[in-house]
Structures are given as structure tokens and as C-alpha cells.
A and B are shown apart, each in its own frame.
Chain A
Amino acid sequence: MRITELFQRGEFVLTAEVGPPKGVELDHLIKDAHEYLKTRVHALNVTDNQSSVMRTGSLATCKVLKDEGLLPIFQITCRDRNRIALQSDVLSAALLGIENLLLLTGDYTTLGDHPQAKPVFDLDSVSLIHAVKRLEEGFDIAGNAVDGAPPKFAKGAVVSPCSDSVDVQLAKMEAKVKAGCEYFQTQGVYEPEKFIKFMEQAKQFGVPVQLGLIIPKNVGMCRYMNANVAGVHVPDEMIKELQADKEKTKAGDTGVEICARLIKECKDYAQGVHIMSLGWENRIPEILDMAGIAPITPVV
């Protein structure tokens, strides 16, 4: 099932994110997915060596989740593989019945735990989207014909609506759409006004956008993101909100409340929500409940 079908049906598409471990024991990940996510979100992003930290591959983890009856979104970054490997992995995904992709440029190598590695970036998000589209048309990007029936995917990408250079982001978004991108997940939003303003511009592209949320766990995390994470800005009032009731924040309740509120304020302008829970998968049901979003019927 390609999630583009859900968008086409007019569904408010819900997705969450899981990160494979630096190892081969996936039990915990699978358990959480079943318990908290299967009936609350339509699909699950599986990150690709996120933040340049080496972990078990997204493709293999996607397959495991698929076999568990879940709907995975294969995240692919351009940091670690050249165009040969990338196209090969895309075909491998199709072979394994994985039809949902999120195509990213990727964080730079020095941000992670192998800072000495050689950064590849042979392709970037735009050329990768294009490459996938070409494969769907039956050709690789060197012009060779694909053997047999070409694959078909739901091609997604990322955009940062709250970036301080939002005009530059919009230009990139347009390029991605023209290259063949069919849906977007945003970077974490904490400022509804900015998101709404962004969507006013973005809607001209006619492509569905999911509101991206990162659960604000504590003040420290917010300050870190403000200083270091691109496209993310937690406003002062929100930080004060987290500071106000320390016990509540510690219990994770403030963060959950904030997320729910953000969904309520923004959902009329978005075509879905993507929650990045950073290990707090178990709070997702609560967030969706508070936001007034009912459980879903699993699509697989």
C-alpha cells in the first residue's frame, strides 16, 4: 500500500518514526510498534543512519516491520551511498515489497559517531527523487532499461517550514515537486503561525504536507535544538511552559500536551501529521487522543 493512496482518498495521514538500533535485536522496536503504533498511525518511517550514527540498515528493518504486518516508509539519505548503490537499494526495496520512500540528502558525516568517514553525496534529495521516478518509468539514470516491470513507489521528501530561510526552502520544495515528489513531511514545528504562513505558499504546489512534530521532552532538549538543530525553533513561551511545572514536564505530560495543542492549531492547514517521538513511542496514543484524532483501521 502506497500512502499516496491515503492522501488521494482525503485521509488525514498519520505517521510516526522509529530508529533501528546499533545491533540486530529488534524485539523492543517491534513490540512498541505493535503496542502503540499499529492502530494509531498509518505508516512508520524507519530512519537511515540518522544523524550520521551507524545503525542497522533501514531497508532490512523495513522488511522486518513489513513481515510484522506494519507499513514501513524506507528513509534513504545520500550521505553514505553513491548513485549505483542508491538505485540498487531502491530496486531492492521494491523486491521486498516496500513501496513507501522518504528521500533525503542527509546529515553530514562529522555530526555522528564516525566523523572520519568519507561523505558521499553523489546525489541529493532532488536528484534521488528524480532517479526513483526514472526507475518507475523503466530506466536507471544512466539511461539503461530496467529488466521487467518497473517498480512503483510513494515518493516523499522533507521541508522545513520554520526555517529562518523559508524562501530558500520553498524554492527547494518546488524543485523536489517538479522532480516527482508526491508528499512531504516537515521538520519539527513549534510555531503554528509560521507553519500556517508556510502552507499558504506551499499549497500552490498541490502536494500533501504532513505537520512534523518532535515531542519536547524537557527544557534542555529545547535549548539544544534551538542552538543546534536546523529548521527547529522552540519559542520562549513554550520553554517557560515546560519550566512552569517541573514534575509535569518530567512525567512527559507537558510535552504531550504541547504536541496535542500544536496538532489542533495546525491540522486544518495540513494533510496529516508525522510524529518524531525519539523513544517516546508509548506517548503517541495519548497525544493523538488529546488532539481529538481517533484510532485508525490499520491499512495492511
Chain B
Amino acid sequence: MPIPNGGLITETNRQYYAGAQQFNTAATASVGQTFTSTFDTNLAFSGSDPASVGYNQNNFKIFTSPDANTWTELVPTSVISSTTGKNTAAIVNVGNPVALPLTVTNPDVLKDMTVVNASTGAVYGTVLVDLPIGNTNVSCNITTQIPASTDLRFQFASPWTEANNIVTVNAKLPASTYLKIQMNDDALGDMHGSYEYTRLDDIINNFLIAYVGPGKLIPSVKRTDVIFHAKRGLQEFSYDTLKSVKSQELTIPENLSLIIPQDYVNYVRLSFVDNMGVQHTIFPANELTLRPYATPAQDNDGVPTQDSANSNLETTSQITKKWDNNNPRKISGAYLNDYSIADVYWTSYYDGALGQRYGLNPETSQRNGWFIIDDRKGLFAFSSNLKEKLIILEYISDGNAYDLDARIPKMAEEALYAHILYSILSTSVGVQEYIVQRFKRERSAKLRNAKIRLSNLKLDQIVQVMRNKSKWIKY
């Protein structure tokens, strides 16, 4: 089934797996040929010259091939988009138009090509018209004087461009050859597994088709209302229903703090990772310490002092300093020959009961470390035993941060329709309360279903867990 045949899949196998779409060029060699991308992912283009700043922002590359077997990237210096020549033993002065005399005629010198020094790459000007066959004088706009007998290269500074998913090749493509759009690895990673999701735009369009119109409960609704409720629904679902797919691998620096991710809404779990790659949950230091929101400088009477702009002066937090310098073993109750131990019922060596602990506090009895959220500075702060440790931060966003986020798992698609439907009906005038209640229950039921589906409870896994519990589960 390599070819999309009217189902929901619109990409070929090759587009999906290899990120490549291949085209045949025209039967006659020509410039300005266009090729339309049919990837589900929109093409992103900033430049076709690898030397240009924007090139790395492209999410694809263009390749050409004479046989669809050996592929060459199409860049300004490619054989297809450039040619060489040498001017005669005469200096070519600045001017527009100016005849650039070549030693040998070259039919591959085309309009809009840039004239550059073949060795240094210095730009001399641009070609104004195609070099007529048999002619050696190239009509150019010369902006920098060309020394006599210089080896020149004529090239398309931008051999291809892209706009709105249509690639236009400025270079002259040979007749009946092949061209390929190849997505970059990053883009390919985003494409893989995308069938699991439905785009929010599709949800909105589907909703307007299926739920809105004459003879339906919602005869008419503004598209912006649907967009609002869809996005709000996606936000709400992101908090407690949808899978948490956001995570960052980070190393804790010397200052023991990390900036909260840009699209962060709440954390799921922070873990440090040991040498075997196994996660160990880092716990929040909720009741152990706190990052103060303000640290006003006080005078001797304890009154906050102000600066010349009438604002309170701030000092460095003493609490933060103490927390950063503490020894977490004193909190967790790990063996430590020390009297100063917080929050642990500990009997020390001098009490004659070495190694014995009484009344272990399970909340603090862990050695994975602590983290705390500094809301004022937008930081995660960590206990000192995590310095330079590798951690993984799992968190949730709201599904609206980036365009790629604006999608919902198909498992929760129906729940989102129900959410939009209920939200619109419950805020509309003249809808009977029993109808509102019906859709409230429907939304609730479908959301529950979505949660169960997305929790991925598989029978095999349950059986495996129960095997050491002296229970037999038949399946």
C-alpha cells in the first residue's frame, strides 16, 4: 500500500519513512521549473546556499540526479547551477550593462547568474541575459572590476527557492532527470508517529461540518468561538488526560539551578540518571525549605529600606544560601557522625547506639536529592548532592505553545468534540438545561474513556506485575 488511495494517509511510504519525495524534471532542459511538495509537514525555507545564515533553518534539502540513484545536493556550486569561464586579457570595468568578454563561448551562462572569482569566491556582478549561442560577450551588471584573464565561475546564488510548499528551481535543470525533496532528520522525527494525532485545525473543521448547521443543536457558531473552545479543551486535556511527552535532559550546574522550560506549565517528575541510565526520582523540598519571593533589606528596626526610586532594596537570600550549602544526608538520615541533624529521629554514636535509628521519617528518608521551584526567578533549584548530576525533567505544556503542539491524540479526539459541543451549548442562549446536562455527562464520559485509553493499561503488563503476587490471572 505505498500510494495514498483516498484514506486518511496522504503521504507515500517513502515520504513517511525516508522523508523523500521524488519528481521527474521536464522533457526539455529549462529554468524556473516548479515542484509541489505533498508532505504533511510544511516546508520551511530560509536560503538555498549552505554558506548563507538562513540555510540551517530549512527543514529540507533539494537533490538532483541523472538516474534517481546517485543524488547530489543542489547548491550554488553544483554542476547544474554553475559553470566556469575565463575573461580575455582585458580588464572589465564597473558598469551596467557591460560586456564581459569570455575566451570561449559557454551556453550554460544564464540570466541572473552571479559572476564570482573561481578561486576566492569574490562577487563581481550578475548576468543580465542568457549568453547567445556562439557569442562570447556576456551582458552583465558589473559592480566590482574584474582583472584581466581571471578564472570565473557563473553560478546561481540561490539555485532554488521555496514558497508555500512549492519549490522553484532557478537553475537550468537537465531534461528528463530527477529531483528530490529530502526532509532533514529533525523534521523527519516530527513526522514519524504523527498518524497518532489529529491536527487541531482538522478538529475545528470537522466540528463545524458535523455539529453545526441548520437542523442541528448548534445552527450557527462563529469559527473563532470553536477555535477558542478547542484550544481551551486542548489545554485542559494537556493537564490531566494527554500523555506527557515533554522532557529535557539537563546537567545541574555549579549554581544548582536550571531555568524553567519556555513552554512549561507544570512538572511531572524530575529524576537524576545514574551511570546505568536508570532514573531516580528527585523529590520536591516542599516543607523543608522555601525560596523567598522577596528578600527586602531591613534596617536595625526590621523595617524594609528603599532606594532612590522608592522601591524596596533587596538583599541576597540567606535561606537559599543555607539550603545550597547543606548536607542532604543530615536530612535524609543517612549515616553521619554529626550532632546537627534536622528532622530525623537519630541516635548518635555518643548515645551508645551506633547505627540505630528510631522513628524513620519516610518523607525525608531518600538520598535522590531535592528540588525546589523558585517562582520569582523562574528556576528549578536543587540540593547540593545533585551538583553536576545528569537529570531528566518531565513536564507538561498546554498544547498551544507551538504549531506542532496543536494536535490531539486520536484516542481523545471524540472527547474534544464533546468538550467543544458542551462548551458552546452551555454558553448559548435558549438551550434547554436538560440538553446542556446531557452533553455535560457525555463530555465527562468521553473524557474518562480517553483517560483510560491513553493510560495504556495493557493486560500483559498487568499479568507480569501480578506474577510475583501469588495471584493467577488467566488471559
Please determine whether chains A and B interact with each other in the same assembly.
no
A-binding residues in B (CB < 8 A): none
B-binding residues in A (CB < 8 A): none
